Copies of this chain bind each other. A is one copy, B any other.
Amino acid sequence: MTTEQAKASDPRPRGRPRLDIDDNDVADAVAELIAERGVEGLTFNDAAEKLSVSRATLYRTIPTKEHLLAVLLVRSMNEMNELVADALKRIDDPAEQLLALVELQIDAAIRMRQYMPLFFGQGDMPAETYTRWQGWARDFEQAWVEVVRRNMQAGTLADGDPVITARLLLGACLWVSRWYRPTDRFTAEQIRQSALDLVNSMVPPRAAGEA
């Protein structure tokens, strides 16, 4: 909403001070508040305060707590898209691509653990965010499936249905959001390394026999 077009359709009356609220600032504020108090503890008031705007100003752009959270969810999807696209562009080898996806996903599960359940039906999501999320999830899974497929073709993963295999691997990574605790004895780095070791150890029977 920073284009001239968006400004032209802005319903804010002339003469008032410009009080643009940047989506990135909102996402940062929401993420910080969630880190401090959890999703349950997030309030509209606290968000306005953290953004140094009045409740009324915030309300004009973002009408509900669900919409506040949605700004963060949308940014998270965009972030993941960029990270994955970048990794797949940077890396050619399918086996290395898979390891990069696993690493990104474990990191995301840890970083987003407090609000990840929102993506999976806990709490409400504005309808348009939900639609966006469904499309995103489909495309995101497709990226994983393609990498898994290439590994099966290259003989670096056991043959099988690439969709099922991708979902099993994604599940191992996503589930980390359930059990990771910063106060636990396991560091994010240890979990990441274990996941990489595990995926690295997946050698299809023929390749193992040839080795």
**Which residues in A have some Cβ–Cβ distance to B below 8 Å?**
117, 120-122, 157-161, 163-165, 167-176, 178-179, 186, 190-191, 193-195, 197-198, 200-205, 207-209, 211
Contact = CB atoms under 8 A, between A and B. Distances in A.
Contacts of A161: 186, 190, 194
B170 A175 contact: yes
A137 to B, nearest CB: 10
B157 A201 contact: yes
Number of copies: 2
A148 to B, nearest CB: 10
A142 B29 CA distance: 39
**A160, A171, A198: residue with the most chain B Cβ atoms closer than 10 Å:** A171
Contacts of A197: 158-160
A140 B32 CA distance: 35
Contacts of A117: 121
8 contacts: A122-B122, A158-B200, A164-B190, A167-B176, A168-B172, A171-B172, A171-B178, A172-B172
